[in-house]
Amino acid sequence: MVTKKKTGREDKDAGTSRSGRSVRDDAEEQLNKTVDEIRRFNNLTLDRELRMIALKQEINAC
């Protein structure tokens, strides 16, 4: 059963999109993509910083 949500102008289906997937599923998918992107960025920057530390130690050892 689909619940209806009053919006003032017209009735809208609460929680479903045209394809039958819920709005929550769509939002969760987008959130997961964003989290994955942030994780990749974090890994890249962390690797870069670790390389910079190693280079600094190598330079200072000379």
43, part of any domain: yes
pLDDT at residue 10 tops 70 = no
- Domain extent, residue 60, equals 23-62
pLDDT exceeds 80 at position 16: no
pLDDT score at 56: 95
Q: pTM of the full predicted structure?
A: 0.56
When divided into structural domains, the chain yields a total of 1
Phi-psi region of 12 (alpha: psi -120 to 50; beta: other; left: phi over 0): beta
Decide if 3 is inside a domain: no
Under a CB-based contact definition with an 8 Å cutoff, are residues 23 and 17 in contact?
Answer: yes
The whole-chain average pLDDT of the chain stands at 83
Output the pLDDT for position 5: 60
b/e sequence 26-51, b meaning 16+ C-beta within 10 Å: eeeeeeeeeeeeeeeeeeeeeeeeee
